[in-house]
């Protein structure tokens, strides 16, 4: 795996994707303590839950100092307001050489911002293949997560496995789906038009929120095997 320049700082037309700093802790913990977020995982608003979010943020900061660096978790921020929309990442430590697990989640207040998810996914996948010289990026999502499934399909991924997921999925009668994207297929997709899975649909969804129902649809992609955001 290549060693790109750090800290990570990527930009798109409307968003900034960068390494977390200590000043981002409050916003990160706050959105993870949101009742809508906690409802997805059946967590209560107690000191233990808050401590878990703080420990997770500590882990993200710690990854930045590893040498070689194998794990990347960066925040998604609005360029105009600097508000945190969520986070995305690539985790290479536990995967075979030149492969990584991808994940993305948006804070509940931004669950309707489909464009943010598209741009974050596109930039992080490109970062993995171009800057980290990965050959394969894998991910997993819940069968009820229709938005993430559409993103995965857009980028040319292949479903490789389906199995019973953790308790929070099974309680909703969902399964856990694994997908894989290899470098060759991604390069092929890059040669196509970059307007989205459906031009008109993408334009509509980028300009207005979609209806979200947390009982039937998850709006975050986590490392489901660990039960935490990747």
For the segment 162-175, what is each residue's pLDDT rounded down to a tens digit?
A: 666 556 555 655 65
pLDDT higher than threshold 90 for residue 65: yes
pTM score, whole prediction: 0.74
Across 29-33, 133-137, 157-161, 225-229, least confident range: 225-229
Percentage of the chain surpassing pLDDT 70? 64
Average model confidence (pLDDT) across the chain: 76
pLDDT higher than threshold 90 for residue 71: yes
Please state, in angstroms and as integers, the Cα–Cα distance from residue 182 to each residue in 159, 185, 199, 229, following that order. Answer: 12, 6, 24, 22
How does residue 192 score in pLDDT terms, banded at 50, 70 and 90?
Answer: low
What average pLDDT does this structure show over 71-89?
A: 95
Please state, in angstroms and as integers, the Cα–Cα distance from residue 150 to each residue in 58, 144, 173, 202, following that order. Answer: 32, 11, 20, 11
Q: DSSP letters of the chain? A: -----SS-EEE-SSEEEEE--GGGHHHHHHHHTSHHHHHHHT--SSHHHHHHHHHHHHHHHHHTT-SS--EEEEEEEETTT--EEEEEEEE-TTS-TTEEEEEEEE-GGGTT-HHHHHHHHHHHHHIIIIIS--SEEEEEEETT-HHHHHHHHHTT-EEEEEEE--HHHHTTT-EEEEEEEEHHHHHHHHTS--S-SSHHHHHHHHHSPPP--TTT---B-EETTTTEE-
Task: Note whether 227 and 166 are within 8 A (CB).
Answer: yes
- Please provide the CATH number assigned to the domain covering 9-207: 3.40.630.30
Residue 173, phi-psi category: left (phi > 0), alpha (psi -120 to 50), beta (remainder)? left
Percentage of the chain surpassing pLDDT 90? 40
What average pLDDT does this structure show over 23-47?
A: 91
What average pLDDT does this structure show over 32-57?
A: 90
pLDDT higher than threshold 50 for residue 217: no
Give the pLDDT confidence score for residue 114 in this predicted structure.
75
């Amino acid at each position: 795996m290549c060693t790109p320049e750090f800290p990570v700082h990527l930009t798109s037309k409307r968003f900034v994707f960068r390494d977390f700093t200590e000043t981002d802790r409050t916003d990160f913990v706050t959105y993870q303590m949101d009742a809508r977020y906690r409802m997805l995982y059946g967590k209560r608003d107690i000191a233990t839950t808050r401590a878990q979010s703080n420990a997770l943020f500590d882990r993200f900061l710690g990854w930045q100092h590893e040498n070689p660096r194998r794990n990347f978790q960066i925040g998604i921020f609005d360029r105009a307001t600097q508000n945190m929309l969520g986070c995305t990442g690539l985790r290479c430590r536990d995967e075979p050489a030149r492969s990584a697990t991808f994940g993305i989640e948006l804070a509940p207040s931004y669950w309707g911002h489909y464009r943010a998810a598209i741009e974050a996914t596109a930039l992080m996948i490109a970062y993995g293949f171009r800057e980290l010289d990965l050959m394969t990026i894998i991910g997993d999502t819940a069968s009820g997560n229709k938005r993430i499934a559409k993103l995965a399909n857009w980028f040319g991924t292949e479903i490789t496995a389906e199995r019973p997921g953790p308790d929070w999925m099974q309680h909703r009668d969902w399964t856990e789906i694994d997908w894989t994207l290899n470098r060759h297929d991604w390069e092929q997709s890059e040669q196509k038009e970059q307007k989205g899975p459906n031009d008109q649909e993408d334009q509509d969804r980028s300009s207005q929120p979609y209806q979200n129902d947390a009982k039937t649809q998850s709006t975050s992609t986590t490392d489901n095997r660990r039960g935490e955001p990747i």
